[in-house]
Amino acid sequence: MLDLSHLRADFPILDRQVHGKPLVYLDSAATTQKPVQVLDAMDDYYRHHNANVHRGAYTMAEEATELYEGARRRVARFINAAAPEEVVFTRGTTSAINAVAYGWGLHHLQPGDRIALTTMEHHANIVPWQLVARVTGAELTYLPLTADFRVDVGAIGDVIDSRVKIVAFSGMSNVLGTIGPLAEAVAAARAVGAISVIDAAQLVPHHPTDVRAIGADFLAFSAHKMLGPTGVGALWGRRDRFEEMEPAEGGGEMIRDVQLHSSTWADLPHKFEAGTPPIAEAVGFGAAVDYLEAVGMDRVRDHEREITRYALDRLAEIPDLTVYGPDDTAQRGGAVSFTLADIHPHDLATILDQSGVAVRAGHHCAKPLMRVLDVPATARASFYLYNVPGEVDVLVAALHEARRLFGVA
């Protein structure tokens, strides 16, 4: 197996104990741990360069602006954007999708128009569209899943027709691990003149991502799921789409001129960054991207495929355990959802915590998907570049222990 275990030394938190046991952190789909390189970059910013960006003519303000804009250049390069202006800093994936819903959807949708989603979406890629549909009279329509937890591309022709104006779908499911049919969905959207919006919250951190190759119109992701801090994320958009999009938030920094009764907008990307941005967080985001680039996203992906394969094989040894998601690691990432007999996932997570194992339990902000799976909740182990096979072994031993404790026959 590709050994990235030396990287663990960069993550101070991985040394801690929980209930007297070494922490086994298997919740990176919720948020990732931070390497010292990211912590140091943010600390250095606050200690030595803290000033507001884009306004001051003094040295520190220029330094802060350069650090902030440098982070934008890094993030843009990381996803192969054509230019840094195609990257708008947001609070995260959720606010990035809302920006498109309110900035593009609100102004382009009419009664009878449709927004096509899939049934495996996170609430962040459902609720903003429902809100905008309610105002515009548009309707939501959904691509179903196959029995083996993939988006049913055979249904694309039925769902994505000329009424559809927006196709919004996740690049990788936070529950199933399923990698979305990016090329097919983008092509189908284009064929009917719809825009495509990718919820890449789980894709960008775990899979090499080239926005120009994917060919979508918008793509959203969060720094905290890719070794960076909370409070910042990015919306990438094609320049022409950004030009035809209205700002969803108004305020300082985003204007060219303000008159008493009207205003004009600043150029990209500032048009979409109202108010003081999350400067230190963007600096941390840039450092996170540097870190991932130094490791190499191909290696991150390879490592995750290997550890996910190992986890799926070991979980298959446990009687009464059901995994929800594709088995082929070519089609999935490292979020592994499961249930164990009729033990409630919350109880399971509490038992695992006694062994130092951190997994998430619940509906994972994907209630429509839970209904498709016909379960109220699942437990989810999710992996990242710092996880090692020995941690899967601890998880598996703790699951056996849970079976014993709950008297599962």
Name the residues that contact ligand PMP, by CB under 6 A: 29, 92-94, 122, 124-125, 170, 174, 199, 201-202, 222, 365
Outline where 182-278 has alpha helix (H).
182-191, 211-214, 239-243
User: Helices 127-136 and 93-100 sit at what angle, rounded to 10 degrees?
Assistant: 20
Cβ at position 177, least distance to ligand PMP in Å: 11
Residue 200 vs 388, nearer CB to ligand PMP = 200
CA dist., res. 141 & res. 282, Å (int): 35
Residues pairing with 25 in the sheet: 358
Minimum separation from the CB atom of position 322 to ligand PMP (A): 21
Q: Whole-angstrom Cα distance, residue 285 to residue 83? A: 18
Nearer to ligand PMP, 199 or 391 (CB): 199
Closest C-alpha among 27, 75, 92, 37 to residue 384 = 27
Question: What size, in residues, is the chain?
Answer: 409
Q: Which is nearer to ligand PMP, 14 or 124 (CB)?
A: 124
Active site residue 365: yes
Q: Given 23, 192, 248, 365, which residue is catalytic? A: 365
Least distance in Å: CB of 59 to ligand PMP?
34
Task: Tell the smallest beta-carbon distance from residue 109 to ligand PMP (Å).
Answer: 21
Sign of the torsion angle spanned by Cα atoms 142, 146, 150, 154: negative
Q: What's the gap between Cα 173 and its chain centre?
A: 9
Residues 6+ apart with CB under 8 A from 149: 120, 176, 178, 324, 325, 326
Spatial neighbors of 10 by CB under 8 A, at least 6 apart, are 35, 36, 37, 291
Q: Which is nearer to ligand PMP, 325 or 388 (CB)?
A: 325
Q: Compare residues 269 and 333 and give the one whose CB is closer to ligand PMP.
A: 333
User: Is the CB of 35 or the CB of 177 nearer to ligand PMP?
Assistant: 177
CB of 180 to ligand PMP, least distance (A): 10
Taking the CA atoms of residue 212, residue 215, residue 221 and residue 223 in that order, the dihedral angle to the nearest 10 degrees is -10
Residue whose token pair is 């996932």: 345
| Token digits of residue 37 | 């390189």
Least Å distance between CB 128 and ligand PMP? Answer: 11
Secondary structure letter of residue 87 according to DSSP: E
Whole-number Å distance between alpha carbons of 155 and 221: 27
Smallest distance, Å, CB 76 to ligand PMP?
A: 19
Q: Which CB sits closer to ligand PMP, 61 or 372?
A: 372
| Structure token pair of residue 178 | 């399923």
CA atoms of 82 and 213, how far apart (whole Å): 11
Residue 158, C-beta contacts closer than 8 angstroms, at least 6 positions apart: none
Q: Which of helix, strand or coil describes residue 148?
A: coil
Q: Which residues are catalytic?
A: 365
